[in-house]
Amino acid sequence: MNDTFRLGRIGGVRVGVNWTVLVIFILVAYGLGAERLPQAYKGLNPVVYALGGLLTAVAFLASLLAHELAHAIVARRNGLTVEGVTLWLLGGVARFEGEPASPGAEVRIAGSGPMVSLLLGLVLGAGAGLLLVTGMDGLVAGCVAWLAAINVVLAFFNVIPAAPLDGGRLVHALLWRLSGDRTKATLRTAQTGHGVGWAATVAGFYLSLWTFSGLWLILVGWFLIVASGLEAGQARTRARLDGIPIRRIMTPDPFTVPGSMTAAEFLHEMLPRHRHTAYPLVDGDVVRGVVTAARIRDEDAGTRIGAVVEEAERTSAEASLAELLPRLTKERLLVFDGDRLVGIVTPRDLTRALERLP
């Protein structure tokens, strides 16, 4: 899920929203402001209902964010690289690179989100109770109580044992711990996502005969089926690549280019002769990154390619393909043996290797 808007960083974690989050926002703000609140608290100024709906919807999104930030921050403490947190149609996602190193780490990461939701639910519930006791039982108390309830619901919904929900991760950690085989655990857990996803979809169709929320259930079910299928596919790929070092699939001793070369020389002399799409750029002994045909084509003929060099991630020749998989599906990597550049590997090399490998 891509960020449509970047909101900045919270606790060092990049936070963004996908435009589809608007659907949740409108559903909550409208449901409360135009329906629930006017029915429950009659005779108030319409502006008060609208404001109540809007502010509660904002607070709801903030509590979704708190849930995902908990995952992200605990993941980072457990050694994962956190790419960011995004709010979207079905709530939030925290994206990491790689996987938890142990079942224990996975339990901590997966458990932290529901824990925060439950805690928020309890604190907000106590707040709503306090407002009622002190006689301030009005629209504000109603909104706080709604937020409390929805956070408790979120906590319990997320621990449903189906991949890729938090509950599915907890099951995964348990199976992994018991069997010692991460791949097998992932394939098993993916089945839970598949089963629960279909159950939710069927129930959703049935419910949608009477109520709008049936559609929501269909959407959640469909998401579980697709996402758990993807996870199973990734696990199988990783199992095939396990133990294979990156030097087996890299292009060895790649042809390098100097920064002083012009775009025209690159396009009309280098490209036709070598037929690769990306070249390491080396000035003296320093490897500065990668230049790509796609990028250079947009430059003026006289531009020095050193000015448009792109950064490239580095890895060692003995690094395991399975470990590098998340990075390698997105970007090209420069392969080093100590300080020496020995190869380059692109997402296309990976695709070809997967076709070739048993």
* Number of other residues whose CB lies within 10 A of the CB of residue 310: 14
Cα separation of 252 and 243, whole Å?
19
Q: Phi/psi at 64 (nearest 5 deg)?
A: -60, -45
Give the DSSP H or E segment for 40.
Answer: helix 37-40
Burial class (CB in 10 A: 0-12, 13-18, 19+), 144: buried
Task: Find the shortest distance in angstroms from Cβ 195 to Zn ion.
Answer: 20
Task: Find the shortest distance in angstroms from Cβ 110 to Zn ion.
Answer: 7
Cα separation of 6 and 122, whole Å?
30
Complex with Zn ion: residue 36 or 67, whichever CB lies closer? 67
Provide the binding-site residues for Zn ion, judged by CB under 5 A. Answer: 113, 158, 166
Complex with Zn ion: residue 156 or 336, whichever CB lies closer? 156
DSSP codes joined into one string, 204-256: HHHHTTT-THHHHHHHHHHHHHHHHHHHHHHHHHHHHHTT-BGGGTSEES---
Complex with Zn ion: residue 131 or 170, whichever CB lies closer? 170
Tell me the two tokens of residue 302.
Answer: 């006289």
Active site residue 68: yes
The residue number with the shortest CB distance to Zn ion is 113
Q: Which of 72, 78, 90 is nearest to 15 (CA)?
A: 72
Give the residue carrying structure tokens 């449903």.
160
Complex with Zn ion: residue 167 or 343, whichever CB lies closer? 167
Cα separation of 65 and 51, whole Å?
21
Task: Find the shortest distance in angstroms from Cβ 67 to Zn ion.
Answer: 5
Task: Find the shortest distance in angstroms from Cβ 175 to Zn ion.
Answer: 19
Complex with Zn ion: residue 121 or 343, whichever CB lies closer? 121
* Number of other residues whose CB lies within 10 A of the CB of residue 334: 21
* Number of other residues whose CB lies within 10 A of the CB of residue 221: 21
Q: Which of 207, 60, 76 is nearest to 124 (CA)?
A: 60
Distance between terminal CA atoms of the chain?
Answer: 32
Task: Find the shortest distance in angstroms from Cβ 151 to Zn ion.
Answer: 12
Task: Find the shortest distance in angstroms from Cβ 206 to Zn ion.
Answer: 27
Catalytic entry in 68, 106, 231, 299: 68
Complex with Zn ion: residue 165 or 278, whichever CB lies closer? 165
Q: Is the Cβ–Cβ distance between 316 and 337 less than 8 Å?
A: yes
Complex with Zn ion: residue 69 or 334, whichever CB lies closer? 69
- Residue-wise burial string across 185-213, b where 16 or more C-beta atoms lie within 10 A, e elsewhere: bbbbbbebbbebbeebbeebeebeeeeee
Tell me the two tokens of residue 172.
Answer: 């995964």
Task: Find the shortest distance in angstroms from Cβ 164 to Zn ion.
Answer: 9
Q: Which residues are catalytic?
A: 68
